[in-house]
Amino acid sequence: DAGVTQSPTHLIKTRGQQVTLRCSPKSGHDTVSWYQQALGQGPQFIFQYYEEEERQRGNFPDRFSGHQFPNYSSELNVNALLLGDSALYLCASSWGLADTEAFFGQGTRLTVV
């Protein structure tokens, strides 16, 4: 049973560019949440997708957007990249919208230069 998988593992982008990160949830899970983790900090909630809709959003600008597909996989898009967007981006999957076990992928390390 595959857990949460993310791609790519590492990515280097230039300031101003756009990036798309991908996530496949754990089998049986239908909810995907995205988090940003800066070095030495805890993960910060970006947004949550359920039934192909954004259900909750953290304190992130509109440059951060996402999508969920019918197979529950998800994408995170970041436009007009800033140096400060450099971080580990984590995807977490869970079942439904209640507070329940959430499992994380290994993350995508994004470096903006």
Chain residues in the site for another protein (CB under 8 A):
4, 6, 31, 33, 35, 41-45, 48, 50, 55-56, 58, 90, 92, 94, 96-107
Backbone phi, then psi, for 58, in 5-degree steps?
-90, -170
Least CB distance from residue 70 to another protein, whole Å?
Answer: 20
Q: Name the E strands within the chain.
A: 5-7, 10-13, 19-24, 31-37, 44-50, 53-57, 64-68, 74-78, 87-94, 103-104, 108-112
Q: State how far the Cα of 38 lies from the Cα of 51, in Å rounded to an integer.
A: 29
Give 15 or 57: the residue with its C-beta nearer to another protein: 57
Give 5 or 79: the residue with its C-beta nearer to another protein: 5
Give 43 or 66: the residue with its C-beta nearer to another protein: 43
Least CB distance from residue 86 to another protein, whole Å?
Answer: 15
Least CB distance from residue 25 to another protein, whole Å?
Answer: 12
* Residue 43, helix vs strand vs coil: coil
Give 4 or 81: the residue with its C-beta nearer to another protein: 4
Least CB distance from residue 46 to another protein, whole Å?
Answer: 10
